[in-house]
Structure formats: structure tokens, C-alpha cells
């Protein structure tokens, strides 16, 4: 057997395995979920545009190896316009495990946006950006009827 051909075959095999792993990782097949939402436990109080809204969110944390790098909340009003909101929290903490954790906070609409917000059914939108070993990951609040609330004038 020719040593050069053997080394070439082994090198090609290693390159193929490495390239295949890189491709699978790039497509996200090896990514594990950071959390699992429990939207049946979500709730948002209704109220006037210039008031505070009580929010409860629930999730099951699945991983410990990702750090929150950004947390943003907005609302989509009855006319489908998106507006910023001010939460009274920045991030949530807690261990990973099989238990659903609930977190409560309040949001308010900034004064400079209150006159632009349409009364009626609104939806809370949330985005959490994580830094994980495999790269940055964006997790959004789930689409669920419990994300809806009423804004009055």
C-alpha cells in the first residue's frame, strides 16, 4: 500500500468529517433550546394608556451556558403600530430545570408615545438576545392569546 495514498485518504476523511460538522452546526441542527415558554401562564392587565400594565411571563429554563445580552419590549397597538415600552426589570434569573418559573413586572408607555397609541387590543412583544457557546441567539415571546391586553384612553 502506498503511504502517500493512505495519508491522503485519511486527510480527506478528516476534512469531510470536519466540514460536515461545520455545515450541520452552521444550519443550527446542533443548537439546543435555551428555554421553553409556558404561555398558558402569561397574563397582562388592561388599563389606560398613561397607566402601568402588570405582566406575568413564564418559562422553563433549559440551559445554564447562555448569558442575556439584550432584553427589549414593545407593544403593537390596535392599529398595528409598534411602540416602545418601559419595563421595571432588565433581565430574569433562575436555574435551569424541569420547573416552570413565573416572573412579574410592570410596563408603561413613554409619555412621548402615549398620544400615538391606538386604544383597543394591543399585543406585548418581547425579544431576548443571548450569547451562547455556539453564537448569538434571539428568543422572542410566543404568539399566544395571553399576550393580548386592552388599552383605553
Please tell me the distance from the alpha carbon of residue 101 to that of residue 99, in angstroms, as a whole number. 6
Provide the H-helix boundaries in the chain. 3-26, 111-114
Instruction: Tell me, yes or no, if the pTM score tops 0.85.
Output: no
Please tell me the distance from the alpha carbon of residue 141 to that of residue 52, in angstroms, as a whole number. 20
Please tell me the distance from the alpha carbon of residue 23 to that of residue 31, in angstroms, as a whole number. 13
* Cell numbers found for residue 27: 444550519
* Cell numbers found for residue 37: 415558554
- Enumerate residues 6+ apart whose C-beta is below 8 A from 127: 70, 71, 72, 138, 139, 140, 141
Whether the per-residue pLDDT at 27 is higher than 70: the answer is no
Farthest-apart Cα atoms in the chain, separation: 85
Neighbours of 61 (CB within 10 A): 20
CATH class of the region 35-152: mainly beta
With a pLDDT cut of 70, the percent of the chain lying above it is: 89
pLDDT tens profile 76-119: 999 999 999 999 987 777 777 878 999 999 999 999 999 999 99
Amino acid at each position: 500500500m502506498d503511504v502517500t495514498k493512505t495519508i491522503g485518504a485519511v486527510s480527506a476523511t478528516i476534512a469531510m468529517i470536519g466540514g460536515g460538522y461545520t455545515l450541520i452546526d452552521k444550519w443550527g441542527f446542533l443548537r439546543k433550546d435555551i428555554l421553553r415558554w409556558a404561555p398558558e401562564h402569561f397574563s397582562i392587565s388592561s388599563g389606560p394608556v398613561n397607566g402601568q400594565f402588570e405582566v406575568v411571563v413564564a418559562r422553563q429554563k433549559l440551559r445554564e451556558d447562555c448569558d442575556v445580552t439584550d432584553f427589549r419590549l414593545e407593544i403593537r397597538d390596535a392599529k398595528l403600530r409598534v411602540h416602545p415600552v418601559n419595563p421595571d426589570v432588565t433581565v430574569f434569573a433562575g436555574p435551569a430545570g424541569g420547573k416552570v418559573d413565573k416572573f412579574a413586572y410592570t410596563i408603561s408607555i413613554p409619555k412621548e408615545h402615549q398620544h400615538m397609541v391606538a386604544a383597543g387590543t394591543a399585543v406585548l412583544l418581547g425579544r431576548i438576545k443571548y450569547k451562547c457557546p455556539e453564537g448569538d441567539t434571539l428568543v422572542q415571546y410566543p404568539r399566544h392569546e395571553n399576550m393580548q391586553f386592552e388599552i383605553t384612553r
